[in-house]
Amino acid sequence: MPISDPKDEYKDISANMRQYENMRFAQLTLFIALTAGLLTVLFTSNPPLSSLVMFVLKIGGLIVTVVFGIMEERAADYWHHFRRRAVELEKQLGYQQYSTRPARAVISATNAVRVLYFFMFLFWVITLIWHTRF
In angstroms, the CA 26 to CA 22 distance is 6
Q: Dihedral sign, CA of 56, 60, 66, 70?
A: positive
Residue 48 has pLDDT above 90, yes or no: no
Write down the pLDDT at residue 1.
Answer: 47
Residues 6 or more apart whose CB falls under 8 angstroms from that of 59 comprise 128
Write down the pLDDT at residue 46.
Answer: 87
pLDDT digits (tens, 9 = 90+) for 106-134: 888 899 999 999 999 999 999 999 876 55
In this structure, the dihedral spanned by the alpha carbons of residues 36, 42, 46 and 47, taken in order and rounded to 10 degrees, is 160
Q: Higher-confidence residue: 5 or 71?
A: 71
Query: Residue 88 carries which side chain, given as an amino acid letter?
Result: E
Q: How confident is the model at residue 45 (pLDDT cuts 50, 70, 90)?
A: confident
- Measuring CA to CA, which residue among 58, 38, 40, 65 is closest to residue 121? 65
Write down the pLDDT at residue 133.
Answer: 56
Buried-exposed string 104-126: b where 16+ CB fall within 10 A, e elsewhere: eeeeeeeeebeebbeebeebbee
In angstroms, the CA 63 to CA 35 distance is 11
Residues 6 or more apart whose CB falls under 8 angstroms from that of 44 comprise none
pLDDT digits (tens, 9 = 90+) for 53-84: 999 999 999 999 999 999 999 999 999 999 99
Residues 6 or more apart whose CB falls under 8 angstroms from that of 62 comprise 121, 124, 125, 128
Average pLDDT taken over every residue of the chain: 92
In angstroms, the CA 3 to CA 8 distance is 11
**pTM summary value:** 0.88
Q: How confident is the model at residue 103 (pLDDT cuts 50, 70, 90)?
A: confident
